[in-house]
Amino acid sequence: MLAIKNNLMADGAARHLGTSYDALAQSVERLSSGLRINSAKDDAAGLAVRELIRADVAAYQQGGRNARDAISMLQTAEGGLSMIDDILVRMRELAEQAATDSYSVTQVSIMQSEFDELSAEITRIAENTSFNDNNLLDATTAEAFEIALGGGLEDGQTIKLDKQDMTASTLGVGGQVGIRSGVAVGAVDDTYMTGAANDTIEISFTIDGTTHALVMDVAADTTLEDLVTAINVESRGAVAGWDAAVAHEDSETGQFVLRLEGWEAGAITAFTIDPDKDGDGTNDVKWGSDTVLSGTAVAATHFESVTGSASLTLGAQAAITAVDTAISAKDTFRAKLGYMMNRLEAAAGVVDIQAENLSAAESRVSDVDVATEMAAMTRNQVLSQAGISMLAQANSMPQMALQLLA
């Protein structure tokens, strides 16, 4: 019907043009953003899935970075251990050097000085090897690093790295270990040992499989002669006429040291002095100027080696054993760092793959299919152009009615 009040053709053309134009705008938005879902109205369920996946991808990517940071941390720790390794090798060399009788007390004391300095350096390295303010080789308590690998913190999503204490005292090569032949005094009646009130020590040795022990009061200053006498009283009780101890004068220095000599029919297989027999837990018993660690039974590290064929684990030999034990403990921890780094490298690879797969899943949910969207855009462009043309034609239709009124 030809009418001038209502242009129904123009209304229809305008409506179709608006629909085509909206579709064209959506295609332009998707192609310019690269996303099929740009707002919740595009796909509400797909948007929710995409955001969850994006959160997991971010977590896994950070997990991979965490693993690589942990590898860097362990490499730092291993670097410290490699230096400790070199030091322990030198300490083992010094102990072996001091184990021969070719050197004087003075020369062995020089070796002891280097041994002590190297021991102090081990502790310094252990206390100062850190990564992001986390100390790695000085675990004063049972500690562990926890490495989160993404995907939440459920079981299996973290790797724990137990710290270990690599200080000299924990390794067993601290101040209680020595390679020198003995603490020396100028005369046999000079003070050899000092202690506080009520302090006692326990001296024990083993001969023919039997352990003998005596408790000695060291509250007052104890001379080398006092110690020799006390030990010999006990050794004569074990074997008639056997004096295990002697105050030996070094011909080069003129200093006296405690020397232990084996029984002619047997050998001393152990000799220790417990500096905390009273159990008060204090560092108050001293040998010369050296404080003996409280509660630590000293395996004769401060005494002259035996003469003749008698066997006794004394200073240098005890140090050799202690250093060997320390090297073993250090190697065990260093090996653990190695296989933990290998595990972390594998874990980083796995979380990278997980992040990649989730990114692919997110892409399938969210990314625009460019080929399909370009086809839709071309169609919508044609429809929009046709709609504009038809709207122009529809707008001219009422003018035909005017011709009938002329």
Is residue 308 included in any domain, yes or no?
yes
Assess whether 73 and 149 both reside in one domain. yes
Q: Which two tokens stand for residue 153?
A: 């913190």
Q: Supply the DSSP symbol for 46.
A: H
**How distant, in Å, are the alpha carbons of 92, 167, 327 from that of 173?**
10, 9, 10
Do 158 and 229 share a domain, yes or no? Answer: no
Asked if residue 79 lies in contact with residue 126, where contact means CB atoms within 8 angstroms, the answer is no
Residue indicated by tokens 């429809």: 383
Is the predicted pLDDT of residue 237 greater than 90, yes or no? no
Would residue 73 count as lying in a domain?
Answer: yes
- Residues 212, 301, single domain; the answer is yes
What pLDDT score does 293 carry? Answer: 38
Q: Strand pairing of 130-131 and 134-135? A: antiparallel
Asked whether residue 211 is domain-assigned, the answer is yes
**The last residue of a domain, from among 290, 313, 336:** 313
Tokens of 109: 């004391």
Which residue from 325, 326, 338, 329 is spatially nearest to 161, judged by alpha carbons?
338
pLDDT bin (cut points 50, 70, 90) of residue 374 is confident
pLDDT grade, residue 151 (50/70/90)?
A: low
The residue among 256, 281, 313 that closes a domain is: 313
Residues 202 and 307 in one domain: yes
309 shares a domain with 195: yes
Q: What is the CATH number of the domain that holds 325?
A: 1.20.1330.10
Q: Does 277 map to a domain?
A: yes
Which residues, including other chains, have CB under 8 Å from residue 195's CB and lie 6 or more apart?
A: 201, 218, 219, 220, 222, 284, 285, 286
Considering the domain boundaries, does residue 253 fall inside one? yes
CA–CA distance, 89 with 95 (Å, rounded to integer):
10
Instruction: Provide the β-strand partners of residue 213.
Output: 204
Give phi and psi for 331, each to the nearest 5: -65, -40
Check: CB of residue 288 under 8 Å from CB of residue 185: yes
Q: Which pLDDT value is given to residue 307?
A: 32
Minimum mean pLDDT range among 87-91, 102-106, 272-276, 322-326: 272-276
**What six digits make up the tokens of 20?**
């085509």
pLDDT level of residue 208 (50, 70, 90 thresholds): low
- 199 and 305 fall within a common domain: yes
Q: Is pLDDT at 181 greater than 50 in this prediction?
A: no
Contacts of 147 (CB under 8 A, 6+ apart): 66, 67, 70, 158, 159, 160, 161, 344, 347
Can you read off the two tokens belonging to residue 355? 């992040």
Give the mean pLDDT of the chain: 77
Range of the domain at 268: 191-313
232 and 290 share a domain? yes
pLDDT at 87: 95
Q: What is the DSSP letter of 174?
A: S
Sheet holding 286-287, edge to edge: 222-223, 191-194, 286-287, 290-291
pTM, to two decimals: 0.59
Taking residues 331-355, report their average pLDDT: 90
Has residue 49 been placed in a domain? no
Tell me the per-residue pLDDT of 122-145, one tens digit each, with 9 for 90 and over: 999 998 988 888 888 887 655 677
Q: Is residue 34 part of a domain?
A: no
The verdict on residue 132 lying in a domain is yes
pLDDT at 121: 93
Q: Which of 284, 313, 342 is the last residue of a domain?
A: 313
Q: Which CB contacts under 8 angstroms, 24+ apart, belong to 125-132? A: 125/80, 125/83, 125/84, 125/87, 125/166, 126/80, 126/84, 126/165, 126/166, 126/167, 126/168, 127/167, 129/76, 129/77, 129/79, 129/80, 130/76, 131/72, 131/73, 131/76, 131/77, 132/73
d(CA 167, CA 188): 37
Give the per-residue pLDDT at 312: 32
Query: What is the domain count for the chain?
Result: 2
Same domain, 199 and 235: yes
Do 154 and 98 belong to one domain?
Answer: yes
Q: Do 167 and 200 lie in a common domain?
A: no
Q: Are residues 199 and 292 in the same domain?
A: yes
> What pLDDT, in 10s, does the model give residues 84-120?
999 999 999 988 887 776 776 677 778 877 888 898 8
What mean pLDDT do residues 259-264 have? 62
Long-range contacts for 210-219 (Cβ within 8 Å, ≥24 apart)? 210/238, 211/270, 212/237, 212/238, 215/277, 218/193, 218/194, 218/285, 219/195
The pLDDT of 146-155, averaged and rounded, is: 66
Question: Do 296 and 230 have their domain in common?
Answer: yes
Question: Residues 44-62: what's their mean pLDDT?
Answer: 87
Q: Specify the amino acid at residue 80.
A: G
